[in-house]
Amino acid sequence: MTVIGGATLYAKGPEAMGRFYSQVCGLEATTRDRGFIVLERGALQLVIVAIPPHIAATIQVASPPVRQEDSAHKLMFVVPSIAAARALAPSLGGVVDPEEREWEFQGMRVCDGHDPEGNVVQLRQHG
- Residues facing residue 82 across a β-bridge: none
> Looking at residue 3, what is its pLDDT?
85
Range of the domain at 86: 5-53+61-126
Closest CA to 17 of 59, 45, 48, 40: 48
> What's the pLDDT tens digit per position in 66-121?
999 888 899 999 999 999 999 999 999 999 999 999 999 999 999 999 999 999 99
Question: How buried is residue 8: exposed, middle or buried, by Cβ count under 10 Å (0-12/13-18/19+)?
Answer: exposed
Label residue 1 by pLDDT band (50, 70, 90): low
* CATH code of 11's domain: 3.10.180.10
Question: Can you tell me whether residue 81 is helix, strand or coil?
Answer: coil
> Looking at residue 87, what is its pLDDT?
98
117 versus 34: the higher-pLDDT residue is: 117
* pLDDT tops 90 at residue 31: yes
Number of domains in the chain: 1
Q: Whole-prediction pTM value? A: 0.93
Q: What is the DSSP string of 10-76?
A: EESSHHHHHHHHHHHH--EEEEEETTEEEEEETTEEEEEEEPPHHHHTT----SSPPP-TT-S--EE
Whether the CB-CB separation of 39 and 27 falls below 8 Å is answered with: yes
Label residue 2 by pLDDT band (50, 70, 90): confident
CB-CB neighbours of 35 under 10 Å: 11
